[in-house]
Amino acid sequence: MAEGDVFNFLNKPPKDALDNQIRSVLGLTQLNEFSDALYASEKHFKTQLKTLQDLNSDLARLQVKSLVELDSKLSGGQKARDEFLNQLDNIGRELGSLDQSASTIRNFQKEIDIVKSAMSSSPVFCKIKQAHPG
């Protein structure tokens, strides 16, 4: 009998201590621990099974039946992504160009407004306008 079992035998009621000793000798305590480990493993495997079933469902939805098909779909997705990013870069450059053109037009408009203002307040322009109405 192990030292801890002796103290249990002395400290616990004799029936409980004797029952624990018999369980230990028969290996029932190890069997209970093994059973608990099996339940934990079962839970872990059920989680993994659910993950694999979800992945299998995704592959079926994508109509992928082999690793070659999966690689092909992944490379096709990467190619489409690269093309999309290239298009975004082109659109960005075009927007920059349009913004620059709009800025130039706004500057021209300011200059035209200054010239119009100067002309409308000019005595020469006022005389020409009075001489040729309309």
Cβ contact 24:5 at 8 Å: yes
**Cα 2 from chain centre:** 56
Separation of alpha carbons 92 and 99, rounded Å = 10
Q: Is a pLDDT exceeding 70 seen at residue 14?
A: no
Residue with tokens 């020469």: 124
Q: Note the pLDDT tens digit of each residue in 112-123.
A: 999 888 887 777
**What tokens appear for 106 in the block?**
């706004």
Distance (Å, whole) CA 93 – CA 95: 5
pLDDT at 23 over 80: no
The share of the chain scoring above pLDDT 70, in percent, equals: 74
